[in-house]
Amino acid sequence: MAAGVLTMEEADAMVATYRNAMDKGQHTNKTILSNFKPPFTVDWTPYRMLHWTEKTETAVPLARLHAVAAKLTTLPEGFKLHSRVDKVIADRRAMGEGRQPLDWGMGEMLAYATLLEDGFGVRISGEDVGRGTFSHRHAVLHDQNREKWDGGAYIPLEHIKTDQPTFEIIDSVLTEQAVVAFEYGYATSDPTRLIVWEAQFGDFVNGAQVVIDQFISAGEVKWGRICGLVMLLPHGYEGQGPEHSSARPERFLQLCAQHNMQVCVPTTPAQIFHLLRRQMVRLYRKPLIVMSPKSLLRHKEAVSSLDDLATGRWQNVIPEVDNGIEAKKAKRVIVCSGKVYYDLLAYRREQKINDVAILRLEQQYPFPHDEYKAEVAKYPNATEVVWCQEEPQNQGAWYRLRAYLRSDIDANKVLWFAGRPISASPAVGYSAMHVVEQKQLVEDAFASELKSGEMVLAR
């Protein structure tokens, strides 16, 4: 007022206008710059239209898969790989030509490559994401004779097609809260790019818990901010101790409500291929929490074919796969998620058990009621349904999902639990003790007299 910029009356009017806007529930802040024109803004309207149950075609024709695989395994002339990495690339070349089953790393790389072809950018950050903590990705290749090739490093995903969208891969620092918060913000600003953050071990997501609680799980409900961030959290009990076993799925599941995010536990290369493609291809943007594997990255049973990528789609529930299990003779159905499936499968084959079916729940939230109900109903004479998990009983999916598991089965079926006993720690610290526990929980799932954990009546 002293400078003559405004009068007392004008100042009072500004205050009155502000208060009036608040009383009416209107926005009082002007966050859009005056020169921020529509060509630079994002129209989020299409991403509010679909429901998560909408079927999405994520398959890619075989000819295209062959072509993309060739680009992923072609190097600049004179580029020399480390001998172990050279074997990885040679195997991927065989996979892409259909001469060898696909492993996890190839399934994941094909997902990124085909998304880039489809016009979606890809951005991956996290500790050691270029190689992958467990040496499965090898997205960044390093020349062993740098003097013979001027680049030093080569990233095949940057060379999928001419004028392709940006592919970024960043080995970020061990400051999970800061990095996850940044990637959350990035994902809320661009729905056309697959934004992925990968924890070195799933447990490391603990450091970003405040971001998960206040932003990732609740941001859309609180502020209307849509986010398609993907979090890859290596999870599985391998005897590596409390800080290298659990991505704390129970915490994410506790935060799940109102279809605010997706929690998935894929068990095959085809599943991760279709899951990552589904995240972008369908007009639906929600945070995707993936309990990704460690030992399954190279498990001889955890493989897929190119046909699985060319003709399939993401499966919320994977049905029984062994032909020796007759539906009418099955007395029990075991339901599980993740790595423990392969332990259960191996035990059933070793013991020649033919009256127990095993189902894989690959999407834990939103819970696929229709698919789960339909698969269990295929076994009309089964009187027992067992939920089996590696995590202690007070952790993992059991407490959050048991109401769903119970409500979708017939009244003549009883629901049981098989897994580790309750524990304050995510896992034991001795590998020998881990082996004993793992053996016990698998045996408990098949035991003639179920006793592990608690019994929950179906009705």
- DSSP letter at 174? S
3-state secondary structure of 167: strand
The residues pairing with 27 across neighbouring beta strands, listed in sequence order, are: none
CB within 8 Å of 346: residues ≥ 6 apart: none
Q: Where are the domains of the chain?
A: 62-311, 317-456
CB within 8 Å of 395: residues ≥ 6 apart: 246, 248, 249, 250, 423, 426
Per-residue model confidence (pLDDT) at position 178 = 95
Cα separations in angstroms, 309 against 100, 270, 321? 14, 6, 18
Token pair belonging to 33: 């710059």
Q: What's the pTM?
A: 0.89
Cα separations in angstroms, 127 against 87, 346, 410, 424, 443? 24, 33, 46, 27, 36
Q: In what order do the strands lie in the sheet with 288-292?
A: 167-171, 121-126, 193-198, 230-234, 288-292, 262-264, 363-365
Q: Classify each residue of 112-124 as buried b or exposed e, where b means 16 or more C-beta atoms within 10 Å of its C-beta.
A: bbbbbbeebbbbb
Per-residue model confidence (pLDDT) at position 29 = 63
Report the distance separating Cα 187 and Cα 286, nearest Å: 10
- DSSP letter at 438? H
Class (C level, CATH) for 317-456: alpha beta
Cα of 407 vs its chain's centroid, Å: 26
Q: Are strands 193-198 and 121-126 parallel, antiparallel or unpaired?
A: parallel
Report the distance separating Cα 369 and Cα 451, nearest Å: 27
3-state secondary structure of 140: coil
Cα separations in angstroms, 103 against 195, 294, 392? 23, 12, 29
Report the distance separating Cα 111 and Cα 91, nearest Å: 17
Mean pLDDT by 10 residues, the chain (459 residues): 92 92 76 49 77 91 97 91 93 95 97 98 95 93 75 89 94 93 93 95 93 95 92 96 95 96 98 98 95 94 96 96 92 97 97 96 97 96 95 96 92 91 94 95 90 47
CB within 8 Å of 369: residues ≥ 6 apart: 404, 408
Per-residue model confidence (pLDDT) at position 411 = 85
* 62-311 CATH fold: Rossmann fold (3.40.50)
Per-residue model confidence (pLDDT) at position 453 = 47
Are the folds of 62-311 and 317-456 the same? yes
- DSSP letter at 214? I
Cα separations in angstroms, 431 against 237, 389, 437, 445? 10, 18, 10, 21
Cα of 135 vs its chain's centroid, Å: 18
Token pair belonging to 125: 């950050």
Residues 136 and 205 sit within 8 Å (Cβ to Cβ): no
